[in-house]
Amino acid sequence: MEIFDDKFRSNKARYILQCTLAALSILLVLLSLDAMSNAAVIAALGASFFIAFTMPEAQVSRPRFLIGGYLVGVGAGCLCRYLSSVPLLTQLPIIQGFSYVVFGAISVGLAIFVMVITNTEHPPAASVALGLVINECNYTTVLVILVGIVSLCVIKTLLRPVLKNLL
């Protein structure tokens, strides 16, 4: 069993370059956004940066999937966060005391369903739905998420000539 990927041996510079570009790119995004107050949701952006910089040619790395997936995740998360605070629903015996857990699970299932039927699958965006239910869904958080993912798409587009699939 080998520790290092065979492709790494012949492409060390490419791996180092792309991982450094990913780190610098997310640094720029995090410095410009209120990342600390939205840590759970921002973590999903880290996964998206991984995908975009290690698999830039993959379908899941295209703007339609990045932005579309996050729009779906945000929509599902905000909807379920709202539903988790509706007294009529939170008083149901099966939900009482567990509304964030129940609606968090529903938000992930809903996000996955809508992404699949709209062809906007982006796995980290499903975690955004959960993060918005469990943490907080407000205009600032939503703006941070959307600015972050659009920034990623712009950065990836600008760096397209130097990015190659590492996986």
Which pLDDT belongs to residue 38? 66
Q: Is the pLDDT of residue 112 over 90?
A: yes
The pLDDT of residue 104 is 92
- Does residue 122 lie within any of the structural domains? yes
Domain that holds residue 28: 7-162
Residue 86 lies in a domain: yes
Chain Cα centroid distance, residue 58: 16
Give the model's pLDDT for residue 117.
Answer: 97
Is 103 part of a structural domain of the chain? yes
In eight-state DSSP terms, residue 36 is G
C-beta of residue 42 within 8 angstroms of C-beta of residue 33: yes
First-last CA distance in the chain: 18
Q: Dmax over Cα atoms in the chain, in whole Å?
A: 61
Single out the residue of 128, 121, 122, 123 nearest to residue 43, CA to CA: 128
Count of H-run helices and E-run strands, the chain:
8, 0
Q: Taking the mean position of all CA atoms in its chain, how far away is CA 110?
A: 15
For residue 84, name the pLDDT band (cuts at 50, 70, 90): confident
Closest CA to 78 of 125, 122, 124, 118: 125
Q: So what's the pLDDT on residue 89?
A: 76
Within-domain flag for 96: yes
Tell me the average pLDDT across 91-117.
88
Of the candidates 51, 60, 65, which has an alpha carbon nearest to the alpha carbon of residue 22?
Answer: 51
Query: Average pLDDT, stretch 14-32?
Result: 87
Domain count, the chain: 1
Is the pLDDT score of 105 beyond 80? yes
Classify residue 1: in a domain, yes or no: no
Report whether pLDDT(36) > 70.
no
pLDDT confidence band for 10 (50 / 70 / 90): confident
Which structure tokens are listed for 37? 């107050």
pTM higher than 0.75: yes
Does residue 117 lie in a domain region? yes
Q: In this structure, is residue 132 part of a structural domain?
A: yes
Range scoring the smallest mean pLDDT among 19-33, 76-90, 140-154: 19-33
- Supply the pLDDT for residue 90: 72
Whether residue 167 lies inside any domain: the answer is no
What are the pLDDT digits (tens) for 123-162?
999 999 999 998 878 888 888 889 889 999 999 999 999 9
**Residue bearing tokens 């759970």:** 40
Helices marked H in the chain: 6-10, 12-32, 39-54, 63-83, 87-90, 99-118, 123-134, 139-158
In terms of pLDDT, which residue wins out, 95 or 158?
158
The first and second tokens of residue 162, run together, are: 């130097």
